[in-house]
Amino acid sequence: MATSKKIRIGILSFAHMHAESYIGNLRNIPDVEMIGIADENQQRGRYFADQFGATLYDTYEALIADKPDALIVTSENAKHRPLVELAAAAGAHVLCEKPLATSVEDARAIVEVCQRHGVKLMTAFPMRFSAPALEIKRLMEDGALGHIYGCNATNQGSLPESHQKENLAFLKRDWFVDKQLAGGGAMADHIVHLADLLRWYFQSEVTEVYARSNQILHEGKVSVETGGLIMLTFANGTFASVDCSWSKPANYPTWGGLKLELVGERGLATMDAFKQMITVYSQQAAKPYWNFWGSDADQGMVGEFVAAIREDRTPSVTGEDGLRAVEIVRAAYQSVESGATVDISS
C-alpha cells in the first residue's frame, strides 16, 4: 500500500500559549511533518525550539521559503492579518488562532486573501471538538431537548499575566491586556469561543448584542476591562448570556473554563467542557493544576485541519466562522460605549 504524502506544517509565533499544545498535536498525526517554528521574538523562539526539539527559523519569511503545505498562526491577535497574508501569498493553508483579528475589517481581509489565493482557512475554535460539547450537539440534533428557549454560558479565566510559566521576561504574555495587540480585554479574549459554539448549536446568526463591562476585578492592575456580561439574540428567537470575565484567582488550577446551561422545552442540559480532569496538589508545583485525562479538543481541531488539506475540502470551522465571531465581539464593545443594543442583523 502506497504511503500518503507527508503534509509539512510550521508554526508562526509562540506569542499565544496554544502554540505549545499545537506542536504536540501536529506530531501526533501520522504523515504530518512539523517542520519548525519562527518567532519575531528570538529569545522566545529559541526557548520553545529548545523545549520541543524543533527547528527555529530566523524569520517568518525563512520558514515560508521552506515551502510548507500549511501554517498555524499563533501570534498576538493584532498581528494575525500580516502573517496570514504572507502564508496565503505563498500558497500555504492556514489555521489561525482566535479571535481571527482585532477588527471586522482585518477579519474580512483575512478571509478574502485566503479566498483570493485559493488556500484553506480554519479558525482555531477547539470547543467544537470537545467531547462534552459534541454530546450537547448530538442531543440537540436528536431533538432530545426540543426547542431551545435560552442559554446561560460562562467562559471565565484568570488574569492573563498569571499564564506565565517561568520568571523570564520574554515569556510574559502581557499582550493579552494590551488593547492594541489583543483588541481589548476579557471580552476580546473570551466572547469568541461561546459566540462560535452557540452559532453552531443553534444554526442561527446573532442579530442583536447588548453588553456591559467593568474593571472591578483586578482593579488598577490593567487598563482593559476585566469583567463582562454579554446578551445575544439569535435570528431564531433564542437568547443567550455570556459571562466572559477574568474572574478566576491567580492560584486557580488552570487558565479558566467553559460551561453552559441550555433551557429547552423538554428539559435542561448542562455542560462543563473541562470536567475531564483531576486536580493535582504537589509540593513541587507553585499551585494546584489540572491533569486532563479525557478527550483533547485541540487534537481534534488540528486533526480536522490536516484532514481538510488531505481531502481537499473546506474545514468544518471556516474563516467565515471566525469573521462572524469578531463581528459579535466588536458589537459588544460598541454596546458598552453606547449603552444600547447593537443590531448586526444586516
Would you state the pLDDT for residue 2? 39
Would you state the pLDDT for residue 139? 95
Q: Is 112 exposed, middle or buried (0-12, 13-18, 19+ CB in 10 A)?
A: middle
Cα-based distances in Å from 162 to 35, 172, 248, 287:
30, 9, 10, 11
User: Which numeric CATH code is attached to 7-125?
Assistant: 3.40.50.720
Contact 15, 75 (CB under 8 A): yes
- In 39-89, which ranges are E strands? 56-57, 70-73
Hey, do 7-125 and 127-343 end up sharing a CATH topology, with the first three levels equal?
Answer: no
Distance CA 274, CA 44 (A): 28
- Percentage of residues of the chain with pLDDT beyond 70: 97
Residue stretches of the chain with pLDDT short of 70: 1-4, 162-166
pLDDT tens across 248-297, in order? 988 888 878 899 999 999 999 999 998 888 888 888 887 887 888 888 99
Spans of all domains in the chain: 7-125, 127-343
Provide the grid cell at 273. Answer: 467542557
pTM of the model: 0.95
Amino acid sitting at position 82: P
> Quick check: helix, strand or coil at residue 142?
coil
Would you state the pLDDT for residue 237? 95
Could you write out the DSSP letters of every residue in 10-38? EEE---STTHHHHHHHHHTSTTEEEEEEE
Contact 43, 68 (CB under 8 A): no
* Residue 12: strand pairing partners: 38, 73
Closest CA to 324 of 224, 209, 226, 211: 209
CATH superfamily of 127-343: Dihydrodipicolinate Reductase; domain 2 (3.30.360.10)
Could you write out the DSSP letters of every residue in 117-137? TT--EEE--GGGG-HHHHHHH
